[in-house]
Amino acid sequence: MSNFRFQFYILIAGLGVAAFKFYLYYTTKSNAIFSDALESLVNVSANTITLYSLYLSAKPRDKTHPYGHGKIEFLAAGIEGGLLFAAGVITMVKSGIDYLNQNELKLSSITLGALLGLGFANYALGIYSERKGKKNQSPALLSSGQHLKGDGYTTLGILISLVIAYFTKWQWIDTVIGIAAGMYIIYQGIKVMKTSILDILGTADEAILDKVIRHLQKCRKNAWIDIHNLRILKFGAEYHLDAHVTLPYYYTNQEVHNEMKEMHQFINQHFNSNVELFIHPDPCEPFCCEYCHLENCDIRSSVFKQTIEWTLDNVLKDEKHAPTEDKSLGK
């Protein structure tokens, strides 16, 4: 199932959940349920934006968007965060007003049971969406799944408070939980907006960088003397990787091309996404001989002395690895 079709089904399910929650609010006049229904409505709005962003991100590259349209998913996630923030503020304000007006709370066992079912439904949808987002490297689906799960947690917390109010008749609990839920929704909105802004700015993802470097180290060939100035940018579900790779200076263009092609294949076979590589080949220099593993090299200027493991510290630098006496780098 495509990301677009999956998100469409999530949107339809979300509409049903939101409508049912507003019906429960209408019958109970509960601020806590109102906050939950409003969060679900925000999810529906956000899922609509996400659906459109998935449509755009799936469009092929063109002259005006040479890296594709994937970054629209980051913008969609940011808008969703803004909507969550607004929903939290509205919830807190309404809870305070209703407390001052002393609105009467009406609860029943049927209402509580229905709320429990809706909470489980949202959480299940969130788990499924989050898994699909991780599998397909889709920020939009991942964000949608996280918020659906959060909606499920919010519903569970609200349900517990309403059960207490149902048996104790302490109606002020509804106002307290309504305000608390609003604060939680605001926190989630700020968190989502912050992540979206960092993604749009192209902030380095050290977890992905470390994963790539570890894999390259694992499948490293002797001819790949070092790799440096490595950068990774994310465009929706796709990655763009820039790097400099040091190769023997006497390699022909065809041999250099073959090495770059093999490195490209190694990375794309390991990661469940499309990784575009722009690799700049660098010629080796005499000092590289001290950590070069290439055998039967007729132009070696010095004997092999040490292995330099590829790490975040040396691969991200814009310079060839320099030989060192630091034993922690290898032996």
What CATH number does the domain containing 18 carry? 1.20.1510.10
pLDDT(63) > 70: no
- Asked whether residue 65 carries a pLDDT value surpassing 70, the answer given is no
Instruction: Answer with the one of 137, 171, 200 that is the final residue of a domain.
Output: 200
| 215 class by beta-carbon count within 10 Å (0-12 exposed, 13-18 middle, 19+ buried) | middle
Residue with structure tokens 């909507």? 83
User: The domain containing residue 59 runs over which residues?
Assistant: 3-200
240 dihedral zone (left: phi>0; alpha: psi -120 to 50; beta): beta
CA distance between the termini of the chain = 49
Q: Is the pLDDT of residue 308 over 80?
A: yes
User: Residue 237 corresponds to which tokens in the numbers above?
Assistant: 């579900």
Q: What single-letter amino acid sits at 124?
A: A
Examine the pLDDT at 271 and tell me if it is beyond 70.
no
Q: Of 200, 216, 241, which marks where a domain is finished?
A: 200
In which region does residue 229 sit, left (phi positive, over 0), alpha (psi from -120 to 50) or beta (all else)? left
**Which of 56 and 44 is assigned the larger pLDDT?**
44
Average the pLDDT over 215-240 and give the result. Answer: 81
101 pLDDT more than 60: yes
236 shares its domain with 315 = yes
CATH of the domain at 303: 3.30.70.1350
Q: Which of 32-36, 136-140, 248-252 has the lowest mean pLDDT?
A: 136-140
Are 171 and 41 contained in the same domain? yes
Higher-confidence residue of 210 and 255: namely 255
Contact criterion met (CB below 8 Å) for 276 and 311: no
Using CA atoms, how far apart are residues 223 and 248, in angstroms rounded to an integer? 7
Mean residue pLDDT across the chain: 78
> pLDDT tens across 140-190, in order?
677 777 777 877 877 887 788 788 878 887 777 777 877 887 788 788 778
Burial of 152 (0-12, 13-18, 19+ CB in 10 A): buried
Selection from 319, 321, 285, 289 nearest residue 305 by Cα = 289
Average pLDDT for residues 324-331, to the nearest whole number?
A: 43
Nearest to 286 by CA among 221, 225, 244, 328: 225
Return contacts of 113-119, CB within 8 angstroms, 24+ apart: 114/20, 114/24, 115/21, 115/24, 115/33, 115/36, 115/155, 115/158, 115/159, 115/162, 116/155, 116/156, 116/159, 118/17, 118/20, 118/21, 118/155, 119/151, 119/152, 119/155, 119/156, 119/159
Does 134 share its domain with 264?
no
What mean pLDDT do residues 102-107 have?
70
Residue 218 and residue 71 in one domain: no
Tally Cβ neighbours within 10 Å of residue 257: 12
Report residue 139's pLDDT band, with 50, 70 and 90 as the boundaries.
low
Q: Report the domain count for the chain.
A: 2
Same domain, yes or no: 257 and 307: yes
Q: Which DSSP symbol is given to 323?
A: P
CA distance 311 to 325: 17
Decide if pLDDT at 329 tops 50: no
* 21 and 137 co-located in one domain: yes
- Mark whether 153 and 274 lie in a shared domain: no
- State residue 245 phi and psi, 5-degree precision: -120, 125
Two tokens at 114?
């229905």
Q: How many C-beta neighbours within 10 Å does residue 115 have? A: 25
Question: 295 and 281, same structural domain?
Answer: yes
Asked if 148 and 232 sit in the same domain, the reply is: no
Distance CA 76, CA 141 (A): 10
Whether 238 and 308 map to the same domain: the answer is yes
Please give the pLDDT value at position 324: 66
User: What share of the chain in percent tops pLDDT 90?
Assistant: 2
pLDDT at 110 over 70: yes
**Shared-domain flag, residues 158 and 73:** yes
Measured CA to CA, the distance from residue 18 to residue 147 in angstroms comes to 14
The pLDDT assigned to 326 comes to 44
Task: Please check whether residues 133 and 243 belong to one and the same domain.
Answer: no
- Residue 9 above 50 pLDDT? yes
pLDDT at 298 over 70: yes
Q: Domain boundary residue among 200, 215, 234?
A: 200
Comparing 32 with 297, the larger pLDDT belongs to: 297
